[in-house]
Amino acid sequence: MSPPGLLEGQIALVTGAGGGIGRGIALRFAEEGAAVALHCRTAVSSARELADRIRGRAARPSSCAPT
């Protein structure tokens, strides 16, 4: 069994998750065990793809909330 991640049990809201820095942060937080909620304003399809990618890796679901 692998050790828990640094953010295990935490919840993170990542804005700008459709691309760039926000996307990278969301991936890293998920890798460290956080439940990640994604927010984006314009890159909705990219954020949804990211949510699917994170869901495929994590035991806890993530959400995508485009506005």
Mean residue pLDDT of the chain comes to 83
Alpha carbon distance 63, 51 (integer Å):
6
Amino acid 67: pLDDT: 47
Residues 6+ apart with CB under 8 A from 49: none
Local structure of residue 4 (DSSP, 8 states):
P
3-class DSSP state of 42? coil
Amino acid 3: pLDDT: 72
What's the pLDDT tens digit per position in 8-32? Answer: 989 999 999 888 999 999 999 999 9
